[in-house]
Amino acid sequence: MGWVPVTTLALSVLGLVDSAYQTYTHYAGSGLLGCSASGDACVVVQHSAEAYVFGIPVAVLGMVFYVFVVAIMSPWAWRWAQREVYLIRLAAMLAGIGFVLYLLYAELFLIGSICLYCTSVHAITFALFVLTAFAAAAWGIPKNQHG
């Protein structure tokens, strides 16, 4: 199992950096690197109605999600053989991939534009979902310990 914790931690940190950068550019009002300041697909996506959930920018939600994911994907969390940690990790990744599917739907069918920065976070979330599901299938979930 040695490569899974390291890989998931690296992916989680990348997801955190990307979502933190999107959050920064949202509040700074600056464009994303490689995207024009106005009229670009990234700008269209990030300023659409679908880029907010209950008034909170999706980038902020992504950053908060990835702060949590970095913690639960750390090698220390993987070594902690508590059933609840494994179940929380699976539940978080299910919620993450569910939100990604909604965001992909929104980009493709409601907004009509694709943001490459968003897509990279979506791909990272998908990879983490696959690795977490793989780990659960290959190595199982610890049983409850009664003491």
- What pLDDT is attached to residue 141? 84
- What pLDDT is attached to residue 93? 97
- What pLDDT is attached to residue 2? 84
The position carrying tokens 């009002």 is 29
Domain spanning 3-139: CATH superfamily: VKOR domain (1.20.1440.130)
CB-CB contact of 15 with 124 (8 Å): yes
Neighbours of 102 (CB within 10 A): 14
The C-alpha atoms of residue 76 and residue 80 are separated, in whole angstroms, by 6
pTM > 0.85: yes
Q: Which residues does the chain have with pLDDT short of 50?
A: 147
- What pLDDT is attached to residue 59? 94
- List the structure tokens of 78: 């993987």
Q: Collapse the DSSP code of 53 into the 3-class scheme (helix H, G, I; strand E, B; otherwise coil) and give the result.
A: strand
- What pLDDT is attached to residue 146? 54
The position carrying tokens 């899974």 is 4
